[in-house]
Structure 1
Amino acid sequence: MDNKIHSTLLFSLLFFITHLANASSKDQCNQNDKKTLLKIKKSLNNPYHLASWDPKSDCCAWNSLECDDATVNRRVISLTIFSAQISGQIPPEVGDLPYLQKLVFRKITNLTGQIPHTITKLKYLRFLRLSWTNLTGPVPEFLSQLMDLAYLNLSFNYFSGSIPSSLSLLPKLEYLELSRNKLTGPIPELFRSFPGKAPDLFLSHNQLNGSIPKSLGKLDFYRIDLSHNKLKGDASMLFGTNKKTWTIDLSRNMFQFDISKVKVAKTVNLLDLNHNGITGSIPVQWTELSLQSFNVSYNRLCGPIPKGGQLQRDGAYAYLHNKCLCGAPLQRCK
């Protein structure tokens, strides 16, 4: 009889421990984060895209987010909502996920409004991508408060106004893309003073105007794309053999400078200068470049095209509509 009681008690104890373990493992995510996520879902009108966000289940198992690796009380560190049928604005509650490191709203064409100020509460945010949406308004100055930010992409939106110079205060910024918006005004002079190394800079397809600040010549951009704007004047300061530039695209602007003595870093892989007012002759030094893409068409270049390297690889297309360029792949020089 005693053995029977002992066995029954042991079984009951094991059942209780197992039930307790299952209950604790059932929902490991932080409950405050869970409440915030449910508010975000409600604010977005409970879209089908977030159907897995069931209050009865562990939020760390929900789609579109990621928790840290802690065994208990796991915090949400990533929220990525991509290509969803969602209408509305970015919920201000995203600022109530205090451990968030990555925030993405991408390819959501019915997402409107402006970037909420509450985003400044995300002190650990490293990656912010709000692209291919219908966001409007200015690029907020308050983004400069996100001191851990390394990646910022606001491309393919309808942001207007000038580029805030305060973005140059971000000490860890490695990638800045504001292309495909309606931004106006010049490139900020303060962009010369990024605290770390110069970030990859993509500002194409806007309505930026004015001259490039000469002080930007002191920076070593790995990738820079200023194409499809209304920029003018001298851009030669962006070049230099002492730099480690990989791609440089200045096409479809109104730049005017003599390229004859411009030396390009041997690391350059893409060089696109088409549709400007650039003068002079192509330097022989450019034959030393391992170019995979090259275009100087629609300028005012003159003289013989140097032979060798990759300068003939893209054919006549790369040289069309210049004043008096000659030599292969164009007609023979007289």
Structure 2
Amino acid sequence: MAINYNFLSLALIIFSTILHHCLSELCHPEDKKALLQIKKFFNTPNIFPSWDPKTGCCGWYGLTCDYKTHRVNDLFLNYADLAGPIPPQVGDLPYLETLMFHKNPNLTGPIPQSITKLKRLRILSITWTNLSGPIPDFIGEITTLDFLDLSFNKLTGPIPSSIGRLTKLTGLRLDRNQLTGPIPASFGDLTGDNFYLYLSHNQLSGKIPASVLKKDYTYMDLSRNKLEGDASLLFGSDKKNLEIVDLSRNLLEFDLSKVEFPKSLTYLDLNHNKIIGSLPVGLTELRLQLLNVSYNQLCGKIPVGGELQTRFDYSAYFHNRCLCGAPLPNCK
């Protein structure tokens, strides 16, 4: 059968024209306006070459749209070499559920208050930037959030207690900043299941509130701060789902021999604290992948069994007051 190439070419041109027109329409005009303002704000046209005002924004790089409403749901501005502050126009995308800036080292300035206009936002992730200033109190107004990640920035000052109002949170990362002051007691009001909390590599101080320690976490990393006092309430009993705990390099002081560990625990790092007592026999019943209790004030014989001798060498136990037994020297 002969092919009429002239007819086929004409059909393709007509189809392309119709498709281009359709794609142009697959974008809410207010969303498109906000996105083009964001592009203009950064003043680097070559960063978003696909953000062409002649095409529909739902086909642009770094975002997704709802396939029915064509409203922008997710904005991922990652590895984009963006410079300057976060544009206030991000708050003009009312259907946004995810807002993410990752690995933009030239992104600076504070967190803009305009994000409080995002009444559907579930994930806010601003990481590996040079964002500075305090974590603003208005962050607690975004009550739809279930994940907040502000790690690896240059944020300073205290953690606002208003974060405790984000009761839908299941994950909170504020690690690798320059935060100071105590952990807010309001963190105990965070009710999300399978919760994980990362506050490591800051300058947090004071005692960990009992309301925080009693909460059921899956992962907790408070390492490399200046926290003090008793953290034993964190462990509780088998009713907890605790899997990973890192409290290392703080000023914590409690009797480890009185602690009951949940069977779910697989990672326990307590090194460089002021912990006293002996290692409880309950540790032999755990399937630990990591254990480090070095540089404390522990005494007594290391219990025999489980993973305590087979998986971990002397470096997991050394520099204690009088801890002994394999893999350390024998007790006298």
Q: What TM-score, normalized by structure 2, do the two folds share?
A: 0.92
Return the offset for 1:150: 0.5
- Once residues 17 and 227 of structure 1 are traced to their aligned partners in structure 2, the CA distance between those partners, rounded to angstroms, is 60
When residues 217 and 63 of structure 1 are mapped into structure 2, their CA distance, relative to the original with a 3 A threshold, is: same
Match of 2:127, SS?
strand
CA distance in structure 2 between the aligned counterparts of 1:65 and 1:137, rounded to whole angstroms = 27
Show the counterpart of 2:9.
none
2:293 aligned with 1:296, yes or no?
A: yes
2: CA distance, partners of 1:125 / 1:159: 21
- Cα distance in 2 for residues equivalent to 1:36 and 1:254: 48
- 2:101–2:125 CA contact under 8 A, matched in 1: yes
Question: SS at 1:143's partner residue?
Answer: helix
Q: Of the candidates 74, 79, 101, which is equivalent to residue 75 of structure 2?
A: 79
Please report how far the alpha carbon of residue 217 of structure 1 lies from its aligned counterpart in structure 2 after TM superposition: 3.1
1:92 to 88, 95, 98: 88
Task: Indicate how the Cα distance of structure 1 residues 112 and 332 shifts in structure 2: closer, same or farther if over 3 A, else same.
Answer: same
Mapping 1:136-175, distance limit 5 Å? 136-175=132-171
Cα distance change, pair 124–280 in 1 and its aligned pair in 2 (3 A): same
Local SS of the residue matching 2:298: strand
Does structure 1 residue 45 correspond to structure 2 residue 29? no
Report the 3-state secondary structure (helix = DSSP H, G, I; strand = E; otherwise coil) of the residue aligned with 2:257.
coil
Task: Quote how far apart the aligned CAs of 1:194 are.
Answer: 2.0
Secondary structure of residue in 2 paired with 1:36: helix
- Structure 2 residue 279 is the aligned partner of structure 1 residue 282: yes
Question: In the alignment, which residue of structure 2 is the partner of 1:259?
Answer: 256
Q: Name the CA distance, whole Å, in 1 between partners of 2:138 and 2:63.
A: 25
Deviations, residues 90-112 of structure 1 (Å, cap 9, x unaligned) = 00000000000000011111000
1:29 aligned partner: 27
* Residues 117-141 of structure 1: per-residue CA shift (max 9 Å, x gap): 0000000000110010011111111
In 2, the alpha carbon distance for the partners of 1:239 and 1:24 equals 57
Structure 2 counterparts to residues 133-282 of structure 1, below 5 A? 133-197=129-193, 199-241=195-237, 242-282=239-279
When residues 198 and 145 of structure 1 are mapped into structure 2, their CA distance, relative to the original with a 3 A threshold, is farther
Deviation at 1:49?
Answer: 2.6
Asked if structure 1 preserves the Cα contact closer than 8 Å seen for 2:24 and 2:54, the reply is no
Are the structure 2 counterparts of residues 36 and 261 from structure 1 closer, same or farther at C-alpha, using a change threshold of 3 Å?
Answer: same
Partner residue, 1:10: none
CA deviations 1:26-62 (Å, max 9, x no partner) are 4311111111101000101124331111111121111
Which residue number in structure 2 is paired with residue 60 of structure 1?
A: 58
Counterpart code for 1:37: L
* Structure 1 length-normalised TM: 0.91
3-state SS in 2 of match to 1:280: coil
SS at match of 1:39: helix
Task: Give the superposed CA RMSD.
Answer: 1.7
Whether the 8 Å CA contact 2:23–2:59 is kept in 1: the answer is no
Amino acid at match of 1:307: V
Paired letter, 1:227: S
SS across alignment from 1:306: coil
Q: Verify the 8 A CA contact 1:169 1:195 in the aligned structure 2.
A: no
Point out where structure 2 has 5 or more consecutive residues left out of the alignment: 1-12
Deviation at 1:19, TM superposition (A): 6.0
Asked if structure 1 preserves the Cα contact closer than 8 Å seen for 2:24 and 2:57, the reply is no
In structure 2, give the amino acid aligned to 1:259: L
Give the 3-state SS of the residue equivalent to 1:159 in structure 2: strand
* Structure 2 Cα separation of the partners of residues 271 and 326 of structure 1: 19
